[in-house]
Structure 1
Amino acid sequence: MDPPRIYVQRTLALIKPDAFDKREEIEDIILKSGFIVLQRRKLQLSPEQCSDFYADQYGKIFFPNLTAFMSSGPIIALTLARENAIAHWKTLIGPVLSNKTRETHPECLRAKYGTSELQNALHGSESFRAAEREIKFIFPNSVIEPFPSKGATEEYLSKHVNPTLLRGLTELCKHKPLNPCVTFGPNPSISHISQICLYF
């Protein structure tokens, strides 16, 4: 049986202007829902920045109102991480608020904090690509690196870590020193191994 796979993702969450006063309460719910906050930023977007951020909505009838609303006050931007973060965050915030949302998803955050389809309190990335783009937009200095695959990880361990472990443990077995840290001090790889062995 294969071991369970844990896929850690990042997603962007925005606490919109209409829910800004409830930010501490919302952030507490986020943490209690198993998310880790990697980055946090308070900011106010200009209408132009909102237009760029919501470029995929350009041309839709609500676009001018959306950019006006999102630039009307401060927001909180959060980079969230956890297993399947995008799906979990979308589930937690719920669908875009409509008249039926409070009936169909009464526990979701948009039902609790939103007041209309436009002023729906929270934003969540729709997809992996959207999350990457949005995180880079809000946090331009962030480095978004892909998590290594199982094959790449095994190759790195086999090529770089295992040989060092083998050399260090072989030397320990040969010499059996009373104080490995002192005996093998000048050799960094062996010294590190000996410290690990002493720890266990």
Structure 2
Amino acid sequence: MEPVSYSISVETTLALIKPDAVHKSEEIEDIIQRNGFNILERRTLLLTPEQCSDFYALHYGKLIFPGLTAYMSSGPIIALRLARDNAIAHWKSIIGPAKATESHPECLRAKYGTSELQNALHGSGSLLAAERELRFMFPYTVIEHVHTREFTIEYLSRHVNQTLMQGLVELCKHKPLNPCVWLADWLIKHNPNKPQISYGV
């Protein structure tokens, strides 16, 4: 039997709907979902200039920095935690580059943005950036990999189902008074991954 190749998990990334596009949030979120993303979390917030400075710390010292922090604190924004395979690259391709109006007229920044600064949407640039930015916008959320349905089915099929089915058959034969405890004990005793003890002669 050939080994099965499958993706272990999908990526998560941060999407921000910026102040100039919040009024189009329902339309944008519909586009997001039609592109195969799951919206795991959604949060509307109003950042202070200091919080914007912290979020965009990598841009500190650039000419755009003062205007960027002022703009991002000028009104409510919507933070979204998105998930799908290859989420970071896919979201970046959909929103397009910062200067998107002429070079990528089909992208979301061209459609909803009004300038290079007020470009409607933000997307994390890398896995490390996504983790940092998600923790910033969703500080009480545990950021972890989201397993695909295919991975879950494959994992259960390979490592759980056979032993569990044997245990359930035995459970039906014995009909114990406390079936959950009985099944737990049976699974511990019949764990196929339990270390084998060998006694020396």
Check the 8 A contact 2:11/2:145 in 1, yes or no: no
Report how far residue 115 of structure 1 moved: 1.1
1:162: Cα distance to partner?
A: 6.6
Residue in structure 1 matching 2:87, options 85, 88, 91? 85
Aligned counterparts, 1:12-161, within 5 A: 12-97=14-99, 101-146=100-145, 158=159, 161=160
CA contact (8 A) 1:40 1:78 kept: yes
Higher relative contact order (CA 8 A, sep 6+): 2
TM-score (norm. length: structure 1) = 0.77
Given that 1:37 and 1:79 are in contact with CA atoms closer than 8 Å, whether structure 2 keeps it comes out as yes
Shift of 1:103: 3.7
Structure 1 segments unaligned to the other structure (5+ residues): 178-182, 193-200
User: Is the contact made by 1:168 and 1:189 (CA closer than 8 Å) also made in structure 2?
Assistant: no
What SS class does the counterpart of residue 101 from structure 2 fall into? helix
Which structure features the higher share of helix residues? 1
Q: Deviations over 1:33-61 (max 9, x none)?
A: 11111110111100000000001111111
The whole-number CA distance in structure 1 between the counterparts of 2:42 and 2:179 is 42
**Residues 185 and 191, structure 1, Cα contact 8 Å, conserved in 2:** no
Output one character per residue of 1:100-135: Cα deviation in whole Å (capped at 9) or x when no partner: x33432211001011111000000000111111111
Secondary structure, counterpart of 1:140 in structure 2: coil
Distance 1:184 1:87 in 2: 53
TM-score by length of 2: 0.76
Identical amino acids, percent of aligned pairs: 62
CA RMSD of aligned residues (A): 2.8
Q: Tell me how far apart the structure 2 counterparts of residues 105 and 61 of structure 1 sit (CA, whole Å).
A: 24
Instruction: Could you tell me which runs of 5 or more consecutive residues in structure 2 were left unpaired when the two chains were aligned.
Output: 185-201
Shift of the alpha carbon at 1:187? 2.5
Task: Give, in whole Å, the separation in 1 of the partners of 2:146 and 2:32.
Answer: 23
Q: Aligned-pair distance for 1:11?
A: 0.4
* Partner residue, 1:197: none
The 2-side partners of 1:188 and 1:162 are apart by 17
